[in-house]
Amino acid sequence: MEEYLDRILLSEDQIKKRVAQLGAQITEEYQGKDLLVIGILKGAVPFLADLIREIKLPLRYDFMAVSSYGASAKSSGEVRILKDLDSSIEDRHIIIVEDIVDTGLTLKYLQENLGRRKPLSMKIAALLDKPGRRRTEVYPNYNCFVIPDEFVVGYGLDYNEAYRNLPYIGALKPEVYTEQD
Ligand SMILES: O=P(O)(O)OC[C@H]1O[C@H](OP(=O)(O)OP(=O)(O)O)[C@H](O)[C@@H]1O
Ligand code: HPA
């Protein structure tokens, strides 16, 4: 295991199996619907790439970039749009794909912002849910794993832009980061 990790929380195999299950569930639930999958950059990229290949339906995908963490391990609480969607979502069935719901502030902002654009339906799929840190009452409709209150990296999740390419999810050693930085 890498020396900066405390332990591996979710193995490559566990992630693969759970993402396949979720893809099958979405395939069933969206039969006959015109689906648009919206990935939230940058963390959702590996999850989105794997999930869409497990959804056996015609779909389209687009990306949005928002940021509240900057280069730190603590949410600033203020969400900014860095890149908006390429096209309208009015009258589309959308699934927002996130790597993690932590304080929930990013998701709350996205729900409000995208909700105003009048999609036909809107659901949230998150790889990880960390309910112990929630600061607002938002929860993903589809979730792969619930995790404890620890800062995690890998499979898209970063600390200061590093570790996104790990194929599994690991908890960072506390000495590698500080909550206040
Ligand atoms: O529930 P919250 O406390 O709001 O945290 C979740 C958000 O934080 C991370 O994004 P970040 O701003 O770090 O951007 P990134 O995806 O580019 O890493 C993550 O990808 C979620 O979008
Ligand atoms: O635990 C986390 N790791 C990486 N990025 C994050 N963004 C919110 N929580 C986390």
Q: For 57-82, give the DSSP string.
A: S-EEEEEEEEES-TTSSS--S--EEE
pLDDT in tens, 64-91: 999 876 555 666 668 899 999 999 999 9
Q: Does a structural domain hold residue 180?
A: no
Which ligand has its closest atom nearest to the C-alpha of 105? 1
pLDDT at 50: 98
Chain-wide mean pLDDT for the chain? 94
User: Which of 93, 108, 17 minimizes the C-alpha distance to 57?
Assistant: 93
Q: Does a structural domain hold residue 120?
A: yes
Report helix, strand or coil for 12. helix
pTM score, whole prediction:
0.94
DSSP class of 99? E
Q: Does a structural domain hold residue 134?
A: yes
ipTM of the prediction greater than 0.90, yes or no: yes
With a cut of 80, say whether residue 51 has pLDDT above it.
yes
The tally of domains found in the chain comes to 1
Domain with residue 75: its CATH number is 3.40.50.2020
Residues 134-150, mean pLDDT to the nearest whole number: 96
> H/E element holding 108?
helix 105-115
Write out the residue range of the structural domain in which residue 69 sits: 12-149
pLDDT at 1: 80
pLDDT at 73: 61
In angstroms, what is the span from residue 137 Cα to ligand 1's centroid? 17
Q: Which residue CA neighbors atom 3 of ligand 1 most closely?
A: 103
Q: Does a structural domain hold residue 177?
A: no
User: Which position has the higher pLDDT, 68 or 59?
Assistant: 59
